[in-house]
Chain A
Amino acid sequence: GQNIDQPTEMTATEGAIVQINCTYQTSGFNGLFWYQQHAGEAPTFLSYNVLDGLEEKGRFSSFLSRSKGYSYLLLKELQMKDSASYLCAVADSNYQLIWGAGTKLIIKP
């Protein structure tokens, strides 16, 4: 079966750095997405990785290792507004997105 694993919840301190991991087992791979979802709002796109390595976009970076079936989202200089759920999704061989259950990130002052 296809599976995406990510931690259910994480807590971090304002101004700090946090890494949210995602591991996957899918039938084929056509890219990995990270989305952010604030409570009661739509998921919004953060990043896309299809090749191994690190993609940096401001305070957020996303890393992919296809051989390990592993990705992480790195958030630097955490702000209170970063409190949200972070969803990992993989496009399989049919380009269908397989979703993780999301990681709820709680930022404390």
Chain B
Amino acid sequence: ETGVTQTPRHLVMGMTNKKSLKCEQHLGHNAMYWYKQSAKKPLELMFVYNFKEQTENNSVPSRFSPECPNSSHLFLHLHTLQPEDSALYLCASSQDRGTSSYNEQFFGPGTRLTVL
């Protein structure tokens, strides 16, 4: 049990659907992250929120829309996705996103997304 939960664990959607991924952390952290993990590729950082403010958006297509209503919850809203967006989407949290050199990230189990 890592203290970071994600729902749903698996999601199959068509290209015209709209769905949302949810992440919740119970660790009292202030920074939350969305990553995309594709087979045999490095983790791709998508978005970072620090104290509920979005601090990074790594050139992610607008069909992915993050939302962070508070420090414990993070959403990723999906619409008009493409088959190449099929991947494992991981949420992580850490104490903060700032200037600490030791900033261990705690990961959720991920949502396995398949876009048909």
Binding site for B on A (CB under 8 A): 4, 8, 30-31, 33, 35, 40-45, 48, 50, 87, 89, 91, 95-102
Contact = CB atoms under 8 A, between A and B. Distances in A.
Interface residues of B, number: 24
B107 A95 contact: no
A42 B105 contact: no
Which secondary structure dominates where chain B touches chain A? loop
A40 B111 CA distance: 9
A30 B101 contact: yes
Contacts of A97: 43, 45, 105
B21 interface: no
A100 B41 CA distance: 8
A84 to B, nearest CB: 13
Given A42-B110, A43-B90, A48 B4 contact: no
B109 A48 contact: no
B101 A91 contact: yes
A40 B41 CA distance: 15
B62 interface: no
Interface in B82-105: 90, 97-105
